[in-house]
Amino acid sequence: MSSLHQNRELNKRGDVASFVSTKITPAPRWIRTGFWACTFIAVAVVLRRIAALEFPSISGPPQMMALDHSFASHSTLTLAHILPALAFVGLTPFAILRRFSRLNWPERWLFPIGGIVGITAYAMSVYSIGGWVERSAVLFYNSLFLFALGRAWFYRSHNQPSLKRRWLLRAIGILLGIATTRPVMGMFFATAALTHLSPRQFFGMAFWIGFSINWALVEIWLRMRGAPEQA
């Protein structure tokens, strides 16, 4: 009886230890703030681009008019890229926030939609406004996004939720880098009178800076959390 009691106690302690080790630690405020800021910016950018394609403006700042005309020249491809991207960003909160953890379908849909976003991003790179500097950033980070998404799918199919979540967060962080490029572009636009840089000259730099910021911050956060179960 004594041995049986000891075994029960050990099992209870093991269950408690397992629960503690797999408990999800809430993300810090700076990560949550950055996530929602990037989400809102990404949605606003897509809605603005859709409006510009559907209702072309006949007046406005010359640089913005030139950008709108560039995207309008391949509007079908642009819509094939930004509409799935909008769906991906819209589903992301339902896939990763704990309050929606009982929902399985948002996460499941992220994978095929993310694949479409990645494939069309390669096609969009042909029309890069910033030339090869922008194209190189898109090719590098888009490949990294698809790799992270593929790893997340691999761990999901092999029933390893902790590693799946870790790689899915990487993929989401990289994709939301497109939102971080917008404030960077805004700074370049605001200082154009001093730097004399045109969009063709600074778009590539903005892409590298924006995506690198997101990648670095998400990677730092994941490594700060330590074990995959804590991410």
Residue 193 tokens, joined:
């009178």
Q: How confident is the model at residue 189 (pLDDT cuts 50, 70, 90)?
A: confident
User: Could you tell me what percent of the chain has a pLDDT over 70?
Assistant: 85
Q: For residue 16, is it within any domain?
A: no
CB 163 within 8 A of CB 155: yes
Q: What is the DSSP string of 134-183?
A: HHHHHHHHHHHHHHHHHHHHHHHHTT-HHHHHHHHHHHHHHHTHHHHHHH
Q: For residue 46, is it within any domain?
A: yes
Mean pLDDT of all residues in the chain? 85
Number of independent structural domains in the chain = 1
Full-model pTM: 0.82
> Mean of the pLDDT values across residues 183-198?
89
Q: Which structural domain range is residue 133 located in? A: 27-226
The total number of residues shown for the chain amounts to 231
Residue 28: left if φ>0, alpha if ψ -120 to 50, beta else—which one? beta
Q: Say how far residue 132 (Cα) sits from the centre of its chain.
A: 22
Q: For residue 72, is it within any domain?
A: yes
Q: What angle in degrees, to the nearest 10, is found between the helix axes of 199-225 and 161-175?
A: 160
Q: How confident is the model at residue 184 (pLDDT cuts 50, 70, 90)?
A: very high
Confidence (pLDDT) at 63: 74
CB 106 within 8 A of CB 94: yes
For residues 127 and 73, what is the distance between their CA atoms, to the nearest angstrom? 9
Confidence (pLDDT) at 22: 43
Q: Return the amino acid letter for 125.
A: S
CB 91 within 8 A of CB 110: yes
Confidence (pLDDT) at 76: 92
pLDDT, tens only, 126-167: 998 889 999 999 999 999 999 999 999 999 999 999 999 999
Q: Is 20 exposed, middle or buried (0-12, 13-18, 19+ CB in 10 A)?
A: exposed
